[in-house]
Amino acid sequence: MKKSAACLIVLCAVLVFLYMPIIVLIVNSFNASKFGGEWAGFTFKWYEALFSPRNREIWLSFKRSLYVAGVATLFSCILGTTAAMALNRWKGRLQTAHYALVYMPLVMPEILMGISLLMMFTALDVRCGMTTVMIAHITFCVSYVAMTVLARLQDFDDRITEAAYDLGAGPVYTFFHVSLPILMPGIVAGGLLAFTLSIDDFVITFFVTGTGADTLPLKIYSMIKHSRQMPVINSLSTLMLAFTCLLVGVSRLVASRRPGKRLRSAA
């Protein structure tokens, strides 16, 4: 099939539109100019300023983000895996409603979810803080893990577990030694995706956070509004971008592994 020049031009224009702001941000993180309007030479001083003691609050917010993302990932993997197994094993009207509830956070606008969670916490008289942020992150991360593991279960061969039962293995032993190793790439991929989404989330966190619970995205937003250290923000954003791309790459690598390859290598 002959490639069209018009299609190639449109593709290049779309890529430039999507990625040019990111490229400008990365370039300005190495720009000696404080305002970024002109190139004043290559420098690492903004990265040095980022790691200086006066920017201690940035790293405290980063630790909060890591803590929230770690807790959200752990609980999302547990709840999402059990939900995916239930959706895959049982069928019926109840499971159809279950699937709709699990799938809904994927298509629901974040601002709507943030407002809904805030109204729920207010109605329950729960003070917003780290706990509410973690609950909110678990709420939307569960769906991503469940869908990833459910896609993994589509290729799952039930005859493997039946063979384990025939050989005398119990349900618990079969799950941990047969089913779980096969599902592990999907769980890890879903967990990495949940971790990436959690550590980058701004909208939902903005609604449910409280005093002393600012995560890194909220800290960056505050610095943009009130701080004059814009090049430091560029450096921090570049590091976050590299970290996020690394997690997404690992997630894709793990998700691409097939259970059949593992079984053949084990044999």
State pLDDT tens for residues 59-116: 888 889 999 999 999 999 999 999 888 888 887 788 788 888 888 888 888 899 999 9
- Cα gap 265→267, rounded to integer Å: 5
206 to 34, 59, 64, 118, 130: CA distances (angstroms): 29, 18, 14, 10, 12
List pLDDT tens digits, range 183-219: 888 888 888 889 988 988 999 999 999 887 888 888 8
List pLDDT tens digits, range 7-50: 888 888 998 898 888 888 888 888 887 766 677 788 888 888 88
185: its two tokens = 């790439």
Check whether 261 has a pLDDT greater than 70. Answer: no
Specify if 15 maps to a domain.
Answer: no
CATH number reported for the structural domain that contains residue 117 in this entry: 1.10.3720.10
76-90 burial: b if 16+ Cβ within 10 Å, else e: bbebbbebbbbbbee
Specify if 126 maps to a domain.
Answer: yes
Q: What is the dihedral of CA 213, 123, 100, 111, to 10 degrees?
A: -50
CA angle 85, 199, 104 (to 5 degrees): 45
Specify if 9 maps to a domain.
Answer: no
CA angle 27, 30, 36 (to 5 degrees): 65
Q: What is the domain extent for residue 133?
A: 57-266
Specify if 5 maps to a domain.
Answer: no
Give the mean pLDDT of the chain.
Answer: 83
Specify if 107 maps to a domain.
Answer: yes
Specify if 46 maps to a domain.
Answer: no
Specify if 10 maps to a domain.
Answer: no
Among 200, 59, 207, CA closest to 141: 200
pTM of the model: 0.78
Provide the 8-state DSSP code for 155.
T
Which residue type is seen at 174?
T
Domain count along the chain: 1
